[in-house]
Amino acid sequence: MPLFVAVHRWKPEEEKAVMKEMLALDEWKFPKGVELCASWLAEIGDQRAFCVWKARTKEDLENFFEEYAPIVKKGTEFVPVLQVYPATISSFFRLSPRWLRSRF
């Protein structure tokens, strides 16, 4: 299943509403085909979070956030990514030509 990094940004005045939505997401059952893999929060005061999601399509993620976390979605960019094994620079460069050919 495709991977996406969600880059979430919000304004300081939205902090409480964003945190409330993010905590509520923890209680929801994700729809079939949408899975949260990992999350990182930037330092306090930075108003950013980074999450890795598995989903069939970018639209599936956008629809999920539109329904359950519209304030978070407003400042979110979903970036399709490829995971490289092992996590080394040489693995990345071996994969890069194939990735570039598939995109262009």
User: Which tens digits make up the pLDDT trace of 25-77?
Assistant: 777 678 888 998 988 888 776 788 899 999 999 999 999 999 888 988 999 99
pTM of the model: 0.73
Q: Name the helix (H) or strand (E) containing 51.
A: strand 48-55
Length, in residues, of the chain: 104
Q: How many domains does the chain fold into?
A: 1
Task: Give the model's pLDDT for residue 56.
Answer: 93
**CATH of residue 37:** 3.30.70.100
**Which band of pLDDT confidence, cut at 50, 70 and 90, is reported for residue 85?**
low
The tokens for 35 are: 């899975």
For residue 6, is pLDDT > 70? Answer: yes
11 CB-side CA count, 13 A: 4
Residue 52's pLDDT is what?
93
Q: Domain of 78? A: 3-103
- The answer on pLDDT for 91 being more than 70 is no
Mean pLDDT of 6-22: 88
Give Cβ neighbours of residue 75 (< 8 Å, ≥ 6 apart).
8, 9, 10, 11, 14
